Chains A and B, each alone.
Chain A
Amino acid sequence: MIAATQGNAPIPPDELSPGHRRGWVRTRVRRYLPAALLFLSGLVLWELIVRVFHIKRFLLPRPTEIIGVFGREFGTVTAAGWFTMREAMGGFVLGAVAGVAIALLTSRWTLVRDGLMPFAIAVNATPIIALAPIMNNWFGITNPMAKMSIVAVIVFFPVMINMVRGLSEVSPGNLDLMGSYGASPRQILRRVRIPNSLPYVFGAFKVGTTLSVIAAIVSEYFGGSRDALGVYISQQAALFHFAEAWAAILVASFSGIVFYLAIVAIESLVIPWHASIRAVADT
C-alpha cells in the first residue's frame, strides 16, 4: 500500500482484494458451518426433548413427524406455498413500484413531499394488516387481489419513506461539485440522488420481502381461497393436524428466506459498491 500511495509501483487491482478464489470456499465453509451445525443439533435436541418428556403432539410435534408430512402432503403444501408467494410477490411489486414512483415525484415537488411525509410515517406505524377483512370485503374473499392489495400497502410505505430519505440525504460535497459543473436539477437527480437512494431502497425492499410474506399469510387467516397457505394452516390447526400446520409454516419460512435472498442477490448486482455488501464480501 505504501508503494501504491507513492504512485511509483501501483499494485495491480487483483491483488488488492483478499478474496482469492482458493480461499473463497474455505471462508464460506467457515462462515456457514457453525450455523448449519447449530441448526442440526437444534433439530436433534427438539426430537429428544419431545420424546423424553412425552410432550403432547398437539403442543409440539416431533421434527420427524413434520418431515413425514412432507412425504404425504408434499404436493398440497408446496402448491399452497406457491399460491401465497404469488400474492406476496405480486403485492410486493405493486407496492414497491408505487413507492419508488411516488418518491420520485416528490423529489420534483418538494412541497408535496413535506406535506406527505408526516402522514406516510404515521400510517407506516399503524397495523395495516388490520385492514385485511375490509379488503376481503372490497375484492371478494377468494380474489388474490384482496391479499395483494394488503401486501402492496404494507410494502409501499417503507419503500416510499426510505427512497425519499435516500433522494434527499445526499452528501453536500457531492451537490457542491455538481453545482460547480453547472448541472441541472434533472442531472443531479439522475446522477446523484437516485444512485444515493439505492441502498436505502434496497434496505426497504429487504424489509418488504418479510413483511409481504407475513401480510399475505396473516390476511389469509381471515379467510381466502382453499389453495392458500394461510387458509391451509388455519384449517389444519382447527383439525388438530399440527404436524401439517407446522410443515406449512416451514414452507412459508423457506419461501420468505428465498425471497429475501433473491433481493439480496439483485442488490449485489445493482449496487456492488454499497458498504453493507462490501463488508460481507470482505469477511
Chain B
Amino acid sequence: MDGRYSHPSFVARLASAHVVAPRRVVRSDNLPPMTDSPAVAISGISKVFESSSGRVDALRDIELHVTQGEFVSLIGPSGCGKSTLLRLIGDLLEPSAGRIEVNGTTAHQARLNRDYGMVFQQATLFEWRSVIENVELPLEVMGRDKAERTETAMAMLDLVQLTEFAELYPYQLSGGMQQRVAIARALSFEPSILLMDEPFGALDEMTRERMQAEVLRIWAKTGKTVVFVTHSIPEAVFLSTRVVVMSPRPGRIAGIVDIDLDQPRTDDTREATRFYEKMTEVREALRGVQAG
C-alpha cells in the first residue's frame, strides 16, 4: 500500500475485498501447473489472413518463450499484429504455420482448461446483463454456485471500484468504467494466464495508473503470467519484466528489452533514473522499427 491509496474508502474496500473472497487465494484448481514448462512457448508462428481483398502477412516467424509468472508486454506500431499474436495464444485464431504450447499442452487444450483470462481492446460487455451479471458470467459457465458467484463478483467489482454500479447496465457506464468491468470479469475465475489487449486504452491517466498498480498487485500476489499489449512506452516499462518490440508488415519480433527494475514497482519507480533509461531503450528499439 503506497501513498497513492490515501483515499480511505479505497483502502477499506481493498481490505474488505480480501476478507470477502479468501477462496480465491486458497483455491488451486486454476493455478499454473507445478512444472518447468514455459507458460507460453511460441515457435515459428506465422499468420496469413486470406480474404477476397487480398493476403495480409500479419505475423512471420515469431519465436517467444514466456516463463511462468512473467509479465511480458508487446509493443509496436498499429497493425503490426499484436492483437493477432494475443488471439493466437488464446486459441481464438489458428496459426498458418508454427506451434504454440501453453502450460505444457496445446493452446486449444489450455483454453478448454480455462487457463486464459482475456481483456480485449473493446470492453465487449454483454449488453443484456447488468454489471455484476457480466462479472459473474464466466463463473456461471463454469458451474459455480450462486452464492460463490455473487461473492466473487462483488469482490472483483470492489477491486475496480465499481460496487455502486453493480446493478446498472453497460450502456449506463462510461467507456473507462466498461473496461474496468471487463478486467474484473477476466480476473473473476482466477485464470493462470492473463491476455490483455490494450486494456487501459480508454482510461484517464489517474485511473490508468491505479489500474496498473492493481494489475501488478494481483500479478505479484497470484503469480499469474501476463501477456499485455500496449501502445504506451511508460506503461510497458512500468509493468513488465520484458518488453517485446514488434515490427510491421509482416509482424516480427524486432527486439526484446529486459526490464530489470526492482519489484515491487511503486510510484518511486516511475521517477527512477533506471526507469528513464529503460524507456529510452524501448523507444530506440521502436524507432528502429518505424524507420525500417
Give chain A's interface residues, CB within 8 Å of chain B: 1, 4-8, 10, 12-13, 16-17, 171, 173-174, 176-183, 187, 191-192, 195-196, 198, 271-275, 278
Contacts and interface: CB of A to CB of B under 8 A. Distances in A.
Contact of B141 (A8, A10, A183, A273): A183
A177 B87 CA distance: 11
Q: Which 7 A-B pairs have the closest CB atoms?
A: A173-B124, A7-B161, A195-B128, A181-B141, A10-B164, A181-B138, A183-B141
A9 to B, nearest CB: 9
18 contacts: A5-B207, A6-B206, A7-B161, A7-B162, A7-B180, A173-B120, A173-B124, A174-B126, A176-B92, A176-B118, A177-B118, A179-B91, A179-B92, A180-B92, A181-B114, A183-B141, A271-B128, A274-B128
Nearest to B124: A173
Given A176-B92, A273-B171, A6 B207 contact: yes
Given A181-B142, A182-B111, A192-B126, A13 B162 contact: no
B165 A179 contact: no
Nearest to B112: A182
A12 B128 CA distance: 21
Contact of A4 (B91, B92, B177): B177
A56 to B, nearest CB: 55
Contact of A178 (B141, B164, B168): B141
Contacts of B29: none
A20 to B, nearest CB: 16
B140 interface: yes
Contact of A174 (B112, B124, B203): B124
Interface string B167-206: 1110110101100100000000100000000000001101
Contacts of B111: 179-180, 182
Contacts of A278: 171
B228 interface: no
A177 B116 CA distance: 10
B172 to A, nearest CB: 6
Nearest to B134: A177
Given A16-B172, A17-B172, A191-B137, 10 more contacts: A7-B161, A10-B161, A13-B164, A13-B165, A176-B87, A180-B116, A182-B112, A182-B114, A192-B126, A272-B169
B112 A171 contact: no
A10 B165 CA distance: 8
A173 B122 contact: yes
B113 interface: yes
A191 B124 CA distance: 14
B27 interface: no
Contacts of A195: 126, 128-129
B128 to A, nearest CB: 4
Contact of A16 (B112, B122, B168, B203): B168
Contacts of B142: 181-182
Interface in B137-167: 137-138, 140-142, 160-162, 164-165, 167
B208 to A, nearest CB: 10
A195 B140 CA distance: 15
B145 to A, nearest CB: 16
Contact of A180 (B90, B168, B174): B90
A5 B174 contact: yes
Contacts of B138: 181
B90 A13 contact: no
B165 to A, nearest CB: 6
Nearest to B164: A10
A189 B161 CA distance: 31
Contacts of B116: 180
B210 interface: yes
Nearest to B116: A180
B127 interface: yes
Contacts of B207: 5-7
B7 interface: yes
Contacts of A17: 172
Contacts of B117: 180
Contacts of B160: 7
Contacts of A187: 141
Contacts of B7: 8
Contacts of A16: 168, 172
A145 B87 CA distance: 55
Contact of B168 (A13, A171, A173, A177): A13
Contacts of B114: 181-182
Interface in B213-251: none
B84 to A, nearest CB: 13
B171 A5 contact: no
A100 B169 CA distance: 26
B206 A180 contact: no
A10 B120 CA distance: 24
B128 A273 contact: yes
A160 to B, nearest CB: 21
Contacts of A6: 204, 206-207
B182 to A, nearest CB: 9
